[in-house]
């Protein structure tokens, strides 16, 4: 993992140097100074913030919950304690414990585990307004952001909501929540003396619910309307939005939802908890399997077999105390056995426990209408997976002294990327949109984001083709904030400035209008193409808005609906898959989303994957490419 992080950092440095000739930009950190006009009275005390770089007010790292430390680890988050005097909310929030990653906002020189468990805070951005004026002003719609990062990395400081707040007259709240095993840990030992919600193990989900409760109770002090709260998030943050939509505990806490490149996958309780050899087997990183590794690493057992004997004889209270007493870095290191992806680790999460989240497959709750029927926007990016593939040695090799990714086989690269992106759209947008439209009527909206105008370094790197409208790249457009750390020069320069600013302004306007009214319409000022609701009437009816610059077709409605069956059938006949193993690898990748049955692997017509056993992936000849 360290070598991969070093290589990606070198790549970004080289591309930034290459972009200097193309006038690539990227902002710089500006220290915040106390602004007396930002004084606000909360139920827990007075907070004073600053004027941000976009002219908005900003308050950093306000606690929305008590610290989940010590005995409160693996417990539901509680309301924060009051403070005396004025709290100066100027310093960046301490991130929740995680492995450092530049892709989540960590400094480039950070290594190992960063952050602390006392991390449940929000950053608040609001249009600049004198303290005395807030009470008399019309309450403003609220956009509550949940960051992505696989629910194992990420931090509030990476997202500046000032531009969105100031230009669109909304309140933006950026929340942090417990990550990795601190946010999702289900084990019988932790259920003793716990509430039904705590027994679920969905602590990260409970954190997002607590943050919304804080918004309900406190946002009026910042000029926000607690009756017009839209929760929005990207990637894992989008999955968290889906979780909030289906959680009975979140009822009434939000009034609109935007899911950017999300999904409905989760973990059943058996995989999350059981031993791997149980009748209902657990995953390699289930809580019991992880406990075995921890007992060995902490010197309490010689090997896994001895750890199993010890664990099965330990009282539940001792197991719980052991888990709560471990340093954060020790607990996180127990999940690195299978490697990591730029700081992300594989941790079971989103447990269908029947209390915090409905039992069964998540999609079924939406099929039967068992969710909060608020207006929604669902969307994905046209080239979601290419960002991952550029850093995956199975698909790309590193040329020019090992610093620049170049697809090994452009045909396979584009076939795999196109198929995965369409599968993502089918499962995260089209399928839930169709089901929700049938339940709640015309308050379901969808989009596809197509921007692919990254800088190109001649004969070295074609950003638009290699990365394109990749995963997460729409976020700067939503926030109107272009300093995304060392990646900035790879993405944004003077050559693409005019188009991206126009597209960004449109997206901010749509998002804000949706928060204000429950419909994106023609944007906040009524000057954009009308974004119409998902329509299931016929094949030619509008279903989603394409978000792109004018030179690539602009803002326009489209009607294509994608199903997983159609995506699979299209891949089966895609001539760009010239090798059978490559098609089989694509099918394997699709199945990794838990809501797609592994039965399609051996039974897929024409796949002929018998020579590439599903359980043996990655196959030797693929790994050696």
Query: Quick one: tokens of 324?
Result: 């709560």
Model confidence over 37-67: pLDDT tens digits? 999 999 999 999 999 999 999 999 999 999 9
Host H or E run for residue 97: none
Angle between helices 580-591 and 410-425 (to 10 degrees): 30
What is the rounded distance in angstroms from the CA atom of residue 517 to the CA atom of residue 520? 8
**Rounded to the nearest 5 degrees, what angle is found at the Cα of 203, between the Cα atoms of 199 and 207?**
135
Query: Quick one: tokens of 119?
Result: 């991390």
DSSP string, 356-377: SS-SS-HHHHHHTT-S----EE
What is the rounded distance in angstroms from the CA atom of residue 362 to the CA atom of residue 351? 10
Model confidence over 319-345: pLDDT tens digits? 999 999 999 999 999 997 544 567 889
Confidence of residue 12 (pLDDT cuts 50, 70, 90): very low
Let me know how long the chain is.
625
Residues 90/231/101/451 CA torsion (nearest 10 deg)? -110
pLDDT of 514 over the 90 cut: yes
pLDDT of 532 over the 70 cut: yes
Using CB atoms within 10 Å of the CB of residue 589, give its burial: 0 to 12 exposed, 13 to 18 middle, 19+ buried. Answer: middle
pLDDT of 19 over the 60 cut: no
**Rounded to the nearest 5 degrees, what angle is found at the Cα of 351, between the Cα atoms of 346 and 353?**
165
Among 470, 490, 102, residue whose Cα is nearest residue 260: 470
CATH class (in words) of the domain with range 375-564 = alpha beta
pLDDT of 610 over the 80 cut: no
Query: Quick one: tokens of 308?
Result: 């199993």
Confidence of residue 266 (pLDDT cuts 50, 70, 90): confident
Model confidence over 198-218: pLDDT tens digits? 999 999 999 999 999 999 999
**pLDDT value of position 22:** 28
Is the bond preceding residue 618 a cis peptide, omega within 30 degrees? yes
pLDDT of 20 over the 60 cut: no
Confidence of residue 11 (pLDDT cuts 50, 70, 90): very low
Residue 304 vs residues 273, 284, 310: alpha-carbon distances, Å? 17, 13, 10
Classify each residue of 440-459 as buried b or exposed e, where b means 16 or more C-beta atoms within 10 Å of its C-beta. beebbbbbbbbbbbbbbbee
Model confidence over 553-578: pLDDT tens digits? 999 999 999 999 899 889 989 999 99
- Average pLDDT estimate for 457-474: 90
**pLDDT value of position 204:** 98
What is the rounded distance in angstroms from the CA atom of residue 209 to the CA atom of residue 212? 5
pLDDT of 3 over the 90 cut: no
**pLDDT value of position 591:** 86
pLDDT of 605 over the 70 cut: no
**pLDDT value of position 599:** 74
**pLDDT value of position 448:** 98
Host H or E run for residue 226: strand 224-234
- Average pLDDT estimate for 392-405: 81
Host H or E run for residue 456: strand 456-457
DSSP string, 417-449: HHHHHHHHHIIIIIHHHHHHHHHH-S-EEEEEE
**pLDDT value of position 196:** 97
Q: How far apart are the first and last CA of the chain?
A: 19
Q: Is the full-model pTM beyond 0.75?
A: yes
Model confidence over 78-128: pLDDT tens digits? 999 999 999 999 999 999 999 998 778 777 778 889 999 999 999 999 999
**pLDDT value of position 604:** 53
CB atoms within 10 A of CB 169: 17
**pLDDT value of position 379:** 98
Model confidence over 225-244: pLDDT tens digits? 999 999 999 999 999 999 99
Host H or E run for residue 558: strand 556-558
Query: What are the residue boundaries of the structural domains of the chain, listed by start?
Result: 269-333, 375-564, 579-623
- Average pLDDT estimate for 399-417: 87
Phi-psi region of 106 (alpha: psi -120 to 50; beta: other; left: phi over 0): beta
State the sign of the Cα–Cα–Cα–Cα dihedral 327, 329, 330, 335: positive
What is the rounded distance in angstroms from the CA atom of residue 489 to the CA atom of residue 477? 15
Confidence of residue 24 (pLDDT cuts 50, 70, 90): very low
Query: Quick one: tokens of 515?
Result: 């928060």
Q: Running DSSP on this structure, what letter comes out for residue 520?
A: -
**CB neighbour list of residue 2: distance below 8 Å, 6 or more residues apart:** 111
**pLDDT value of position 6:** 36
């Amino acid at each position: 993992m360290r070598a991969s992080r070093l290589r990606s950092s070198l790549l970004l440095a080289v591309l930034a140097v290459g972009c200097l000739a193309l006038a690539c930009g990227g902002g710089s950190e500006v220290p915040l100074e106390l602004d007396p006009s930002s004084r606000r009275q909360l139920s827990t005390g007075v907070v004073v913030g600053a004027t941000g770089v976009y002219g908005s007010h900003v308050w950093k790292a306000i606690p929305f919950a008590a610290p989940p430390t010590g005995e409160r680890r693996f417990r539901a988050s509680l309301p924060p304690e009051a403070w005396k005097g004025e709290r100066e909310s100027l310093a960046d929030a301490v991130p929740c414990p995680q492995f450092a990653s530049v892709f989540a906002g960590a400094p480039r020189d950070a290594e190992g585990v960063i952050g602390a468990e006392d991390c449940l805070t929000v950053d608040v951005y609001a249009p600049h307004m004198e303290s005395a004026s807030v009470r008399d002003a019309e309450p403003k719609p609220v956009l509550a952001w949940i960051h992505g990062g696989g629910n194992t990395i990420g931090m509030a400081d990476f997202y500046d909501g000032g531009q969105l707040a100031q230009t669109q007259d909304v309140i933006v709240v950026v929340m942090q929540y417990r990550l990795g095993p601190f946010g999702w840990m289900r084990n019988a030992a932790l259920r003793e003396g716990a509430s039904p919600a705590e027994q679920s193990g969905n602590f990260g989900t409970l954190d997002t619910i607590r943050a919304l409760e804080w918004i309900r109770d406190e946002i009026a002090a910042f000029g926000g309307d607690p009756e017009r709260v839209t929760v929005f998030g990207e990637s894992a943050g989008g999955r968290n939005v889906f979780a909030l939509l289906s959680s009975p505990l979140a009822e009434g806490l939000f009034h609109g939802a935007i899911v950017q490149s999300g999904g409905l996958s989760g973990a059943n309780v058996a995989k999350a908890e059981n031993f791997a050899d149980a009748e209902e087997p657990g995953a390699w990183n289930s809580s019991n399997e992880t406990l075995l590794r921890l007992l060995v690493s902490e010197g309490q057992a010689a090997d896994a077999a001895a750890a199993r004997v010890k664990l099965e004889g330990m009282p539940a209270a001792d197991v719980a105390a052991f888990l709560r007493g471990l340093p954060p870095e020790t607990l996180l290191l127990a999940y690195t056995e299978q490697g990591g992806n730029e700081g992300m680790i594989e941790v079971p999460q989103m447990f269908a426990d029947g209390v915090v989240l409905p039992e069964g497959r998540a999609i079924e709750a939406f099929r039967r209408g068992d969710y909060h029927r608020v207006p929604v926007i669902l969307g994905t990016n046209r080239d979601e997976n290419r960002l991952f593939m550029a850093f995956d040695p199975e698909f790309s090799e590193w040329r020019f002294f090992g610093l620049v990714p170049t697809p090994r086989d452009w045909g396979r690269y584009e076939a795999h990327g196109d198929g995965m992106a369409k599968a993502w759209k089918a499962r995260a947008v089209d399928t839930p949109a169709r089901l929700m439209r049938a339940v709640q009527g015309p308050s379901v909206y969808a989009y596809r984001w197509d921007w692919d105008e990254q800088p190109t370094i001649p004969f070295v790197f074609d950003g638009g083709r290699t990365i394109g409208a990749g995963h997460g790249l729409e976020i700067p457009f939503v926030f109107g904030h272009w300093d995304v750390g060392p990646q900035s020069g790879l993405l944004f320069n003077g050559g693409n400035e005019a188009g991206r600013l126009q597209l960004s302004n449109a997206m901010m306007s749509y998002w804000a209008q949706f928060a204000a009214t429950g419909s994106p319409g023609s944007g906040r000022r009524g000057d954009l193409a009308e974004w119409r609701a998902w329509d299931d009437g016929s094949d030619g009816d509008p279903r989603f808005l394409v978000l792109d610059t004018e030179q690539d077709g602009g803002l326009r409605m489209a009607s294509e609906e994608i199903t997983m069956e159609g995506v699979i059938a299209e891949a089966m006949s895609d001539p760009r898959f010239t090798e059978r193993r490559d098609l089989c690898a694509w099918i394997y990748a699709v199945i990794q989303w838990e809501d797609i049955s592994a039965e399609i692997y051996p039974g897929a017509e024409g796949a002929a994957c018998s020579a590439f056993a599903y359980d043996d992936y990655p196959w030797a000849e693929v790994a050696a490419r």
